[in-house]
C-alpha cells in the first residue's frame, strides 16, 4: 500500500496558495514550477480539490481560493479528495481465497477487523492535522532560513 504523490502535491498546493495569496495569482503554471511537475498534473489535482468543495478556481489567470478556513480543512479532507478509497476500504483484499484451504476460508475472519482498525487509526490521525498546521510549519522553516 502506498498513497500516491498526488496527496503530498495537494498539500504543497494548499501551502503555496496560502504563502503566496497576497503576493501573486497562484495558477497551475506557477504551482507546477514550485512542485516541479507538469501543469496538467496540477490541473487534474485542482479539479479533484474543486470537486470536493475545498477550492475554487478562476479561469485563466484568476487563481485559486480556498472555500474554507485553513483550520477547517484536515489532511483527511485532502486525502478523501485526492485518494478516494474504493468501497470505503483502504486495503483491497485478494479475490476469492480458496474455501477448501483452512487459511483461505478463514482469512477474512482473521484480517477484516484488524485491517479496518488500522485504516481507522490512520484516518483518525489524518484528522488531527489541518492546513493551518502547514501555515505555522512553513513559517517556522522560512524563519530558520533567514537566521
Domain boundaries, the chain: 5-89+129-145
Residue 13 above 90 pLDDT? Answer: yes
Q: What is the pTM of this model?
A: 0.86
Write down the pLDDT at residue 62. 67
Is the pLDDT at 7 greater than 90, yes or no?
yes
What DSSP string runs through 54-97? SEEEETTTTEEEESS-GGG-BHHHHHHHHSPPGGG-SSPPPS--
Position 98 scores a pLDDT of 93
Q: Could you give the CA distance from residue 27 to residue 74 in angstroms, rounded to a whole number?
A: 22
| C-alpha cell at position 84 | 478516494
Express each pLDDT in 125-145 by its tens digit: 999 999 999 999 999 999 999
Confidence band (pLDDT; 50, 70, 90) for 87? confident
Closest CA to 78 of 31, 45, 118, 38: 45
pLDDT surpassing 80 at residue 88: no
- What is the CATH number assigned to the segment(s) 5-89+129-145? 1.10.10.10
How far is 44 from 82, CA to CA, in rounded Å? 10
pLDDT bracket for residue 61 (50, 70, 90): low
Residues sharing a CB contact under 8 Å with residue 109, sequence separation 6 or more, in sequence order: none
Q: What is the pLDDT of residue 120?
A: 93
- Residue with the bigger pLDDT between 94 and 56: it is 56
List beta partners, residue 56. 65
Amino acid at each position: 500500500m502506498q498513497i500516491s504523490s498526488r496527496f503530498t502535491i495537494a498539500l504543497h498546493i494548499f501551502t503555496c496558495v496560502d504563502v503566496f495569496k497576497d503576493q501573486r495569482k497562484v495558477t497551475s503554471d506557477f504551482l507546477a514550477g514550485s512542485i516541479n511537475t507538469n501543469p496538467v498534473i496540477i490541473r487534474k489535482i485542482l479539479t479533484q480539490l474543486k470537486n470536493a468543495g475545498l477550492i475554487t478556481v478562476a479561469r485563466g489567470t484568476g487563481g485559486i481560493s480556498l472555500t474554507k478556513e485553513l483550520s477547517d480543512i484536515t489532511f483527511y479532507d485532502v486525502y478523501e479528495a485526492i485518494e478516494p478509497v474504493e468501497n470505503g476500504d483502504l486495503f483491497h483484499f485478494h479475490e476469492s481465497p480458496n474455501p477448501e484451504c483452512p487459511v483461505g476460508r478463514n482469512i477474512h475472519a482473521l484480517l477484516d477487523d484488524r485491517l479496518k482498525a488500522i485504516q481507522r487509526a490512520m484516518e483518525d490521525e489524518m484528522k488531527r492535522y489541518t492546513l493551518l498546521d502547514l501555515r505555522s510549519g512553513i513559517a517556522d522553516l522560512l524563519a530558520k532560513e533567514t537566521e
